[in-house]
Amino acid sequence: MRPRRRRTDLPSRYRVLFAGPVGAGKTTAIRALSDAPPVDTDVPMTLTRGDGKTTTTVGLDFGTWRPAPGVTVALIGIPGQQRFAAARQRAAVAGTRVLLWLRADSDTLVADAAEWLGVFAGEEHRVAIAISHDAGRPLREIRRTLADVLQHHGIPLTRVLLADARDRDDVMRAVSVALDLPEEKS
């Protein structure tokens, strides 16, 4: 048996963009994973929502995670509201991985997925999807619900996972899935 060799040509800096609709858990996930106090651009909402959310992101959120010595992952959250879409284009540079956060308990889950995957059209090979607020729905059911839109964008069902944005381990697992994506479409 040949000994396994460790790759030494891997980059030491990565970027993961947290994208998705308002209330999906982007800012919360960055707060849960960041090794340093994150910078966030949350401001009080002028209109209240039925889910208890009282703030909204108006710019870019930023945190850092150091999963191993010498490796840094920039965690960048973009606003979910269309009126702040200009911030999205500035953050989605080449090589950045995308972790799309969607709410399983939303009546617009499929429409949200289609809209946000459209934002990253042509870059789907960089996208993984974290499903929050699953309310006990099994992952296989959520994947079935999203199957058509995922197939349309060429995203395998295996890139969809459940993640509680408040739980550091869940967010770490979701970011790790996003980082393991191939650089280019196969």
| Domains and their CATH numbers in the chain | 13-43+53-179 (3.40.50.300)
Q: What is the pLDDT of residue 135?
A: 80
Three-state helix/strand/coil letters over the chain:
CCCCCCCCCCCCEEEEEEECCCCCCHHHHHHHHCCCCCECCEEECCCCCCCCCCEEECCCEEEEEEEECCEEEEEEECCCCHHHCHHHHHHCCCCCEEEEEEECCCCCHHHHHHHHHHHCCCCHHHEEEEEECCCCCCHHHHHHHHHHHHHHCCCCHHHEEECCCCCHHHHHHHHHHHHCCCCCCC
Digit-coded pLDDT (tens) for 127-148: 999 999 988 899 999 999 999 9
Name the stretches of the chain with pLDDT < 70: 1-11, 42-59, 82-94, 181-186
Q: What is the pLDDT of residue 63?
A: 94
